[in-house]
Amino acid sequence: VMAQGDTTSAFIGSLAAFYSYDYFWKNQLRSTPIEVAHVEAGLRTGDNYSPYPEEMNRRLIGHIANWNFAPTLESAAALHREGIKDNVFVTGNTVIDALFETRDLVAKSGIDPVPFIPQGEKIILVTSHRRENYGEGLREICAAIKALALRYADQNYHFVYPVHLNQHVQKPVHELLGGLSNVHLIAPQGYPEFVALMARSHLILTDSGGVQEEGPSLAKPVLVMRDNTERPEAITAGTARLVGPRTNSIIAETCALLDNPLLYNRMAHTANPYGDGKASTRIVNLLRGGKADDNTFIYNPDPS
């Protein structure tokens, strides 16, 4: 069983594979357990309730898994600190593989989910759906977006927000941001359309996990509207900044990037730490019994 990420379905699938050993053994159908491989292993915030339930899901999958494919050295180190030391490989993240493939398809197809925004005018992409931000957090985010939209209204900046269908998101977003001429509240997008949106964007404001990897891979600075992140490598590398779900912080950091081209360019062109688009090839090779290539690390800081 191959589990990707930290969803509850990934955890339940891994747990079912683990529990199946008892059934197969009792019925003498097989003598070995079904092995589990965890892709995107080792991401941690250190807070079991943030994000909830994803943090606990991925912790438990890591302990069930026979193979842990970590995207970075830091995520592999997190597994090691939890006592998971065998079959931990640093491969990069398959998310980047999918992103690059989709980016190329989008470029050929000409997909554009916001054709009403003239080419050359700048898009600030906003996504916020995280459970931890429901209520006051989302209201603070919306207050920041409104203030920024008004401040940059005459500078050809457009704020595009694909709004999650959950009513905890829909209601406050439409109440607080509806009616602003340069704020475009659109429906949730399919993956190709969302990649096209990221590619057209100048800057991304998000509380998403994956976008923290995808945005920098497309040379887009990312401001993370959360109190913590399971992707500290992006913060350390300088491709993303943790600004929290607070109005003043979001406004200050956004203005700093929009008003300072040198700061913006430095952030946009910093190397992305999450891989080169070849993680899937490395994982398949390892599962087939192949050796690690020059860009795959077997994590073992303490051979003794």
Tokens of 139: 């209201």
- Reported for 259-264, long-range contacts at CB under 8 A and 24+ positions apart, including other chains, are 264/203, 264/221
- Block residue for tokens 């690390």: 297
> Active-site residue 40, yes or no?
yes
> Active-site residue 129, yes or no?
yes
Task: Name the catalytic one among 44, 59, 80, 129.
Answer: 129
Task: Name the catalytic one among 35, 63, 112, 131.
Answer: 131
Task: Name the catalytic one among 63, 139, 151, 164.
Answer: 164
Tokens of 291: 């050796």
d(CA 225, CA 209): 11
Task: Name the catalytic one among 38, 44, 54, 233.
Answer: 54
Q: Which of 132, 229, 206 is nearest to 214 (CA)?
A: 206
Q: Which of 112, 60, 61, 70 is nearest to 92 (CA)?
A: 70
Amino acid identity for residue 15 in this structure? L
d(CA 215, CA 205): 10
Q: Which of 246, 224, 247 is nearest to 51 (CA)?
A: 224
Amino acid identity for residue 58 in this structure? R
Tokens of 13: 């699938």
> Active-site residue 213, yes or no?
no
> Active-site residue 269, yes or no?
no
Q: State the catalytic residues.
A: 6, 40, 54, 129, 131, 164
